Structure 1
Amino acid sequence: MTRRVWLGAAASMALPVYPGRASQDTESVPHIEHNLYSSAATREALRRGQLPASFLWENKALRLGVNELGRTHGIDVWLDRRLDPQQEISLRFPAESAPPTLYRALMSIAKLAGAAVGMIENIAYIGPVESVARVQCAAVVLYDRMHRFSGDRSPMAPPLEWADISSYNDILAQIAQGSGWSIAGRLPHDLLHAGRWNSPATLATQLTLLLAGFDMTAEPAGPRALRLVPLGKNTEWQTIYQPSELVGTRLSPTAIQQLQRRFPSARAVQQPSGWHVSGPTDFHLALMTPPPPQLNANASRWQRMRWTFQVKNKPAKVVLDSLSTSIGFDTHWSSTALEKGNQTISFEVANADLDTLLQAFARASGLQVIRQGSVVQIDHRQSQ
């Protein structure tokens, strides 16, 4: 991680300044020297969040749905304990006007659940609307403080997996034992379903997510020692970025002004040492997030093309993989759909467009198939 060097205001007077309207006193906004979001893991998660996603949920349990979506797209999702994991969500994504990205899909799901979503390092956190920005800020502050106490080493956590009906205190003890940091304090008793985080994450991220549902966080109490404390009210933080850490197209005056319509208190100041950015975490991430990839140029041609196709007694996944290779689209299989990938199917079409061909496959396989541009999402079809 890069150590941040702070310059006085006079050093930046001759360079572009894009101020917002301050909602938190500048002195109360934490200065971050060691930025949790500067990691390669965060950049990979931001890239994945911009990839296309498509699905159709009909009365799907929230926990089941987000877990499947996360596994399909290679990103971990954490549900706050205050949300009902069994609440049923019905959603066809994308809607006509929505950019078909994974992160936009998570935003739509969270909204239907009466919640919000925010990235914490490389994990998508879905929690109460009033909590997400505070939890994101708490993670940044905790990482920065732990980094200072542990010298130049980044406090990384080992892979985390827990059994069914584990308590939050069980996981807290597991984190403490695996990391070598002592943690003073206990949480109210509550149980979790079995789960795991597949992506490596920092100790600060794991602790922040675990504690968020209790409106708590942690702070250093000494070398390799932490204590539980109430979650703070701060939602904003500030740091210095090198230009290479940000996306160039996000740094024009017009682009920043557009962002400030969403984040009125945020600001970005170009200094000799880099870009001084202050605001909520989502403002920082907006400056770091690459634009969605362009859809495959084949997608527009497919509207004019027609196919004649016949298959008899072939495994469903083999059939779709063959079509994917010959036509040129990408496939995303959910874990539950893959379980039916070996079943044999038979169907035929004549002079059919791509969507008609895919729906013939869907009927023969009993799977749910949704195409968005050059990406075809395959999921288990829920019984009516």
Structure 2
Amino acid sequence: MVCIPCDSLPSRAVMAMVSAQAFGRSSSLCPLVMMMVNLRSVLLSIAWFSAAILPAVCAADSFDDQLRSVCRVVGTELPLRVVAQRIGDAHGINVWIDRRVDPSTPVSLSAAAGSLQQTLEAIAAKSQLEVGYASPVVILAPQGVAIDTATRILKLRSEMKQLPISAATRLLEPQDLAWDRLSTPAEIAQQIAAAWQVSVVGESLPHDLWDRCKLRGVDAADALVLLAAGFDLAPNYDPQQATFGFDRIEKSAGVALEYPSTKVAASMARELRKIDPDVKLENRGALIRVTGNSAVHHRIRSDRSAAKPKQNGGLADVAPGMRRFTLRIPGMKPAASILQAVCNASGFTLDTSAASSENLKRPVGLEVEDQLATAIIESICTQAGLTVRFDATTAVVADRP
């Protein structure tokens, strides 16, 4: 389960636990819903949880599969670091926030379901940031930085593959890397050196104090580039000394990778030139060598035009009217707020066009156990002097005659 830390909530927020279980025994997933209710709005955060399902979700078939999978993030004015952590934990990927980005930047996302990639790009757009992709890392950074950082990861990884096989195997081995709060870049550099058994000259890195962090399944290229990028530095390898140092970034990077020719047809080539005007394509028989930034390579690998989001399961196949919930909301809250929260959780669309604002503002209380969503909505309406009828997936609320 992924929860929002208490210090990220509005001061008057009240938290209520809602557990929902699909009607019948055919569903293998039980969603756990955290509702945060304040005097003005209801914030809903849904974390899909199951002892059997969660490990499979975190261990995706591939990085691109995770980006295509459905991600539901709901919240208002949540700190960027909280949103990034929740997405990373749920999908088993790393969401890296560049040190020049304020991690407390407020992010608001609607309840509309979309792919993980769409969610990440929506977060970036709302915060005027850029997204870079370098499996298994997603980078959120200022414009012109994220894509370049991801490109440098791909480039260094490609260079590591050219090293003697023993060194290449060691440096490209995925490992978890974690450091404590108030760690310095030099200290993290030494952790990287110990993890991948390589010499790293961390003394050249500027002094800074970093928050705690855990990176999952990264290689030495990921770790070194992320460590240096926030200072406009890039790692370089001295094969004579078998040592990594850091140099000032002078120009944008590009990396050459090869793909089957069928993946880069004429239409794809035109699209790649729009992404990176400096992209270079070189035919090599059955292969095509593409030199460009990480956005170019991500576009080729993901081929989003042909891919559809993978459903995570859960309540997706259960009709809204057949979903059951246990709901406890302390105190009295406006009927409209609780109605909207229950409809969001159950999958109903709420229509209040025929209801008066006076009745929608009426305070109501609610404490039900293992009840159908329709029964819960009816109970709320009864307390507020309203009626409700259900048309397929819409709850139509009106004033009582």
Q: TM-score, normalised by structure 1?
A: 0.62
One-letter code of the match for 1:279? G
> In 1, Cα distance between the equivalents of 2:198 and 2:237?
10
Q: Deviations over 1:126-150 (max 9, x none)?
A: 1111212221222223223333334
- C-alpha contact 1:136 1:235 (8 A) present in aligned 2: no
Q: Deviations over 1:223-242 (max 9, x none)?
A: 53111111241232223224
Task: Provide the residue aligned with 1:132 in structure 2.
Answer: 146
> In 2, Cα distance between the equivalents of 1:143 and 1:233?
18
**Is 1:57 equivalent to 2:70 in the alignment?**
no
> In 2, Cα distance between the equivalents of 1:66 and 1:177?
27
- C-alpha contact 1:133 1:281 (8 A) present in aligned 2: yes
Task: Provide the residue aligned with 2:238 in structure 1.
Answer: 221
**Is 1:188 equivalent to 2:206 in the alignment?**
yes
> In 1, Cα distance between the equivalents of 2:314 and 2:180?
45
**Is 1:78 equivalent to 2:96 in the alignment?**
yes
> In 1, Cα distance between the equivalents of 2:311 and 2:322?
25
Question: Which of structures 1 and 2 has the bigger CA Rg?
Answer: 2
> In 1, Cα distance between the equivalents of 2:100 and 2:180?
20
> In 1, Cα distance between the equivalents of 2:327 and 2:116?
34
Q: Which is richer in strand?
A: 2
Superposition CA RMSD, Å = 3.7
> In 2, Cα distance between the equivalents of 1:159 and 1:301?
36
Q: Kindly tell me: are residues 151 and 61 of structure 1, through their superposed partners in 2, closer, same or farther at Cα, counting changes over 3 Å?
A: same
Q: Deviations over 1:81-100 (max 9, x none)?
A: 11111121122254xxxx81
The CA deviation at 1:350 is 7.5
Task: Provide the residue aligned with 2:192 in structure 1.
Answer: 175
1:276 is paired with a residue whose SS is: strand
User: Which structure 1 residue ranges, 5 or more long, are not aligned?
Assistant: 1-40, 315-326, 328-343, 361-372, 374-384
Task: Provide the residue aligned with 2:218 in structure 1.
Answer: 201
> In 1, Cα distance between the equivalents of 2:300 and 2:225?
23
Q: TM-score, normalised by structure 2?
A: 0.60
Q: Kindly tell me: are residues 277 and 201 of structure 1, through their superposed partners in 2, closer, same or farther at Cα, counting changes over 3 Å?
A: same
Q: 2:295 aligns with which of 268, 282, 295?
A: 282
Task: Provide the residue aligned with 2:267 in structure 1.
Answer: 254
Identity %: 21
One-letter code of the match for 1:62? L
> In 1, Cα distance between the equivalents of 2:312 and 2:197?
48
**Is 1:292 equivalent to 2:305 in the alignment?**
no
Q: 2:135 aligns with which of 100, 121, 125?
A: 121
Task: Provide the residue aligned with 1:112 in structure 2.
Answer: 126
The CA deviation at 1:183 is 1.3
> In 2, Cα distance between the equivalents of 1:77 and 1:178?
21
**Is 1:348 equivalent to 2:366 in the alignment?**
no
> In 1, Cα distance between the equivalents of 2:368 and 2:137?
38
Task: Provide the residue aligned with 1:265 in structure 2.
Answer: 278
1:170 is paired with a residue whose SS is: helix
> In 2, Cα distance between the equivalents of 1:298 and 1:347?
17
> In 2, Cα distance between the equivalents of 1:312 and 1:43?
34
Q: 2:254 aligns with which of 236, 254, 258?
A: 236
Mean CA deviation greater in 109-118 or 202-211: 109-118
Mean CA deviation greater in 134-143 or 174-183: 134-143
The CA deviation at 1:78 is 0.9
- C-alpha contact 1:218 1:227 (8 A) present in aligned 2: yes
The CA deviation at 1:213 is 0.6
> In 1, Cα distance between the equivalents of 2:96 and 2:62?
17
Task: Provide the residue aligned with 1:143 in structure 2.
Answer: 157
Q: Deviations over 1:266-311 (max 9, x none)?
A: 3444421511212221111111115233669999997xx6735667
One-letter code of the match for 2:222? T
Task: Provide the residue aligned with 1:8 in structure 2.
Answer: none
Q: Kindly tell me: are residues 309 and 145 of structure 1, through their superposed partners in 2, closer, same or farther at Cα, counting changes over 3 Å?
A: closer
Q: How many residues align?
A: 278
Considering Cα pairs closer than 8 Å and 6+ residues apart, tell me whether 1 or 2 has the greater RCO. Answer: 1
1:239 is paired with a residue whose SS is: strand
